[in-house]
Homo-oligomer: A and B are copies of this chain.
Amino acid sequence: MNNEALDDASIAATAHLKPIAEIAAAAGVPDEALEPYGRHQGKIDVACLGGGEPTGAVVLVSAMSPTPAGEGKSTVTVGLGDALAAAGHRTMIALREPSLGPVFGLKGGATGGGNAQIVPMVSINLHFTGDFHAITSANNLLAAMVDNHLHHGNALDLDPESISFKRVLDVNDRALRRIRLDSGGGRETGFDITAASEVMAVLCLARDMGDLKARLGRITVGFTRSGLPVTAGDLEASGAMAMLLRDALKPNLVQTIAGTPALVHGGPFANIAHGCNSAIATDTARRLADVVVTEAGFGADLGAEKFLDIKARAADCAPTVVVLVATVRALKMHGGRDKADLAGSDPTAVAAGLPNLARHVRNVRRYGYEPVVALNRFGTDGDEELAVVENYCADNGVRCAITEVHARGAAGGAELARHVGALLGQTPSYRGIYPPGADVEEQIEAIVRQVYGGDGVEFAPEARAQLERIRAHGWERLPVCIAKTQYSFSDDPSLLGAPSGFTVRVRELVPKTGAGFVVALTGTVMTMPGLPAAPAAERMDVHDDGTVAGLF
């Protein structure tokens, strides 16, 4: 992912890992609550944890709008966790699980980098403890039962044209976006990537097994010919789905290379889904630790917005501190430089990119937080370039720390940990962008105007019709989950910096009654990615002794 990338795999491979039982014991997980998966991974049976309330403070790590240069947000999250632990805080990290789609597409692994990584890197990136596969199975069992119901007489009078529930696979497979069943004779449907599955969202928002089952039962697969919703519960699928998710619901414990405990659990993308690790993992971490460092995917307009407006409310876990990761390289790209042309000091370009960071700072303040900017230093950054960001922060009363956790591990995050630590005692004055219970149209308007900085919202005719149906069923007060490009505040990925004067076009509104939100699809964002011309998979290999090559 960056110029130090060659080192990541060897740092991970040579890290001295503690047995997972030792990590668990140190984190306060009793022996009977740990189910080992290999020597360095384990699931936590939350029922065996005993009393403790979830009182740990949440530190939410988000970022400026990402660029193809890579900002190292996961790396900063891990490094900040290590630095807080080194400073004496009882700390846990909570992260999402990687998806195989990006691993084999463009991105490679998603477990941090350099001296700020979670391990075992290879296992976490490949299958891990099987949660994504369990979600795929549960999702596709329901889909099979839908078509099986049609095949065996359609007693519920389900309208085939109305079926919105799709199959999923954890792979980037463009050809499956739109398919026709029965060799072209049947209904049109398609596959999403597993990270976009409603079952993934359900698993990530469920508080316990009872809640999981109830949410699965509420998933709407389509409508009867007379317009009534048909749910997974109506198809008697939710019990078997929950059975398939029995182990997947348990959070996964791993460690950083510094030995800090990390829960890695659930993996919805932040551009096409709600973008944070499971509520159960956050809850569990807050019961075990005083400080929980967690990450919301992509820029703060996507991940943090959804964390703050959806998850914080649904799972009662408003953060105490919000961190915004920024880099000189990303600022230069938002300031007009090309990815291929980032070498050489260019403070002017950095300054030209600052409005992107500034808008994210403004947004975080709107949620009631004073953000801490983590300026993630790369080896190629010039001192004058870094100074441009530091000066902007100083001039605007924004806390700022340069982080070098990739190169230096916890020591490289000490300054950031000091800033965060200073804010931990505060009671956050969290408020959402829209009031609870606002109509979904008002919610979208609020997010577009106040977070994205746009002029307004335009609904495609299909979305308008869907909006009316959503209101007819009384779902209009569910929170909205906007699917949008991560590269721009707008729905046009080429509009970098801090664009204004744009309108966001909603092309589809899909009620996710199990997850408990309404997905608004904007722009051309795809719920099933494609592979590039030269997929990362082509460069991967495994040697006869089982060691792998090409994963980073």
Contact = CB atoms under 8 A, between A and B. Distances in A.
A538 to B, nearest CB: 4
Nearest to A543: B209
Contacts of A172: 144
Interface string A100-143: 10001000000000000000001100110010011011001101
A140 B127 contact: no
A541 B209 CA distance: 11
A312 to B, nearest CB: 25
A152 to B, nearest CB: 4
B240 A538 contact: yes
A246 B184 contact: no
Contact of A39 (B36, B181, B535): B36
A395 interface: no
Given A38-B36, A179-B180, A538-B240, A173 B143 contact: yes
Given A147-B175, A183-B180, A170 B210 contact: no
A200 to B, nearest CB: 15
A77 to B, nearest CB: 26
A545 interface: yes
Contacts of A140: 169, 171, 173
A239 B540 contact: yes
A204 B370 CA distance: 57
A176 B171 contact: no
A148 interface: yes
A240 B540 contact: yes
Q: How large is the interface on A (under 10, 10 to 19, 20 to 34, 35 or more residues)?
A: 35 or more
A546 interface: yes
B533 A152 contact: yes
B152 A173 contact: no
Interface in A196-224: 208-210, 213
A174 interface: yes
Contacts of A141: 100, 104, 171, 537
A548 interface: yes
Contacts of A151: 174-175, 530
A9 interface: no
Given A133-B133, A531-B148, A243 B551 contact: yes
Contacts of A341: none
A261 B532 CA distance: 46
A144 B75 CA distance: 30
A383 interface: no
A208 to B, nearest CB: 7
Nearest to A20: B36
A191 to B, nearest CB: 9
A140 B528 CA distance: 14
Nearest to A248: B127
B145 A531 contact: yes
A76 interface: no
A309 B467 CA distance: 62
A225 to B, nearest CB: 19
A46 to B, nearest CB: 10
Contacts of A545: 47, 209
A433 to B, nearest CB: 35
A145 B184 contact: no
A175 B171 contact: no
Nearest to A545: B47
A316 interface: no
Contacts of A239: 537-542, 549-550
A188 interface: yes
A314 to B, nearest CB: 20
Interface of A: 35-39, 43, 45, 47, 100, 104, 122-123, 126-127, 130, 133-134, 136-137, 140-141, 143-145, 147-148, 151-153, 167, 169-184, 186, 188, 190, 208-210, 213, 236-237, 239-240, 242-244, 246-247, 530-533, 535, 537-546, 548-551
7 contacts: A36-B39, A126-B243, A140-B173, A180-B183, A180-B184, A209-B543, A239-B549
- Of all A-B residue pairs in the complex, the 3 with the closest CB atoms, nearest first, are A239-B541, A133-B133, A178-B183
